[in-house]
Chains A and B, each alone.
Chain A
Amino acid sequence: MTDLTKLTLDAALKGLKNKSFSSREITQAHLDAIDAANPQLNAYTLVTADKALAMADTSDAKLAKGEGGALEGAPLGIKDLFSTKDVRTAACSNILGEFAPPYESTVTQNLWDAGAVMLGKLNMDEFAMGSSNETSAYGPVASPWRRAGGDNAKLTPGGSSGGSASAVAADLCLAATASDTGGSIRQPAAFTGTVGIKPTYGRASRYGMVAFASSLDQAGPLAKSVTDAAIMLENMCSADDKDSTCLKLDIPKWTDSVGASVKGMKIGVPKEYRVDGMPAEIDKVWQDGCDWLKAAGAEIVEVSLPRTKYALPAYYIVAPAEASSNLARYDGMRFGDRKDGANLTDVYETTRGEGFGAEVRRRLIIGAYVLSAGYYDAYYLRAQKVRTRILKDLQAVFQDVDALLTPTTPSAAFALGENSADPVSMYLNDVFTVTANLAGIPGISVPAALDAQGLPLGLQVLAPALDEATCFKVASALEDAASFTAKADRWW
């Protein structure tokens, strides 16, 4: 029998429906693949094998009767940021200890309602604060990709959804949930040759997602193809009374947009994204993307987003400020890990000082600083105003163009440890992605080429709020033209 883990989600769903194989078979194939790969890749922090097989058997019973939901029997991986009932959810932080939520996140509940099977929880940067998966309390994730003819150094799959990206790229799940606060879906997608989309803010419920920066956080999938990403997103998003910022809108059939023509579309190329020191190969893949879309009948126009370079510094005020408020709940009293201390304040300070890792401590202290008396106007309020200007710049550009095409990241994946000395150099990974979070618009990353070292490079498509359909149309035109089929050579 063919290796069931190599199938796309779309192909697997068809095979399950046709009874070419059972959910138990494809679930077991993935569990075996995880067993073999996880000691090297560290993509999963928890494998729920018994639960997976029980869910698979339930699905098989439904499939046998010709019943079942849109994802019936499909084994998925879940980022450790999503609360899963009675299954440890730690956001890869020590401070949550063995926290097992007594409730389920809306996004994962939607997936189970559609018949999906949970393989386990996926590694991530602690509280989603990181771009390399190196801040996880469960250790870094390795990408399945390695530099060709190189030193065999372990490379980052990106972050914060590093476990999700590595697991999808290494065929350890058919698709995975992820989340994106500054680029945490799209940057890992670019680094691992996978497809990732962050929808419009409010499309997916944040209920049961461990909060990082509430005005920026948004769930989305990492998947093997644009079609798979559309299938996943359709089944993750919903209106939800449990999240007051969740949009009360019907979810479009995004799979219909995949493969739809881009003829006559106007695609903007923002000139400010041509940053100093951008590698020639990134520039080339961007030009290739323009040429592909032109050949498909779209018109390419240069546009200007004059405040582009201010997006990242504004983000590093807004996100830590929101985080310092959100993470105040981790006091060691009602859940999570408590450390002893001389008095109550000492208990709080020791619990949080030891429970949070270095990057989380750094961001919480910055957040408290920029919100504190005397600095609030100079930092936080100013950043919120810059955010308004960035949004207005984008809205003006979208009067003229249907979508924007940019590189997803300023470089290919780097080696673990290579970029961790200087926080700002790590933050620069998100320079092309963060604008979409500040403005709340959708963005998708699609693999476009391999660089000279044999590593994937991604292209990003940004569209106006609520127009994920355009993201999918343009991304699928790029996917067709790039015909990116490369997979990492198995070394694990």
Chain B
Amino acid sequence: MGLPLGKPAIAPLSSPAAHGELTLRGVTKSFGGKIVLAGLDLQVPAGQFVALVGRSGGGKTTLLRLLAGLETPDAGIISLDGVQRRGLQKDVRLMFQDARLLPWQRLIGNVGIARGPDWRERARALLAEVGLGGRENDWPYTLSGGQRQRVALARALVTEPGILLLDEPFSALDALTRAEMHRLLIRVWQQHGFTAFLITHDVAEAVALADRVLVLRDGVLAEDIPIDAPRAERSLRAAELERRILAAV
């Protein structure tokens, strides 16, 4: 699909989700005496697309699991739209590295996993939005890797979350499929207006997608680089930005 890559640097005003502001203050987490996150401070305005890069084992996944509510911080505060929170949140959804579809549910059942009122209509609409309209009653085993992640994206968005966390969801895809998924993600992000928080080890991916790239090193944010160039023009400046980010990692 020939979607334009460009988009305004600020989230569109028409965004239906005017929520998704994220604030971290002094967030600390250690495992078995090893400090993984050392007093992290971060402010993410609603609707921003943030990419977090860093070496493996550098605490990226821990931070994401904290944001998802799967772990609790040892110290510090995580607040969402100004309210401090603990545990799993309805307003935060997580896309995993693997799609984690339930093999025994048809696509519509996977997308509407949380059920709720008119879940069928919503799930059907979301499947159409990710380009899988008409395949509601197929089993997951009939899908390719890229299609599985499309279903996972639809499942994440069906409840209109304020924040979408992405744990390297495209790392296992081939280059062409990945580029397609990038365009799809940017499109749904612009339409739904959620705050996107992407973990990746692919610096080029971070530069291509995000409004802002964070570099996590030794448990603190070593760099916080805004990327304000329109997405269509980024490839021109990409080399320079990538050099700068790689130097910080």
Tell me whether A and B are bound partners. Answer: no
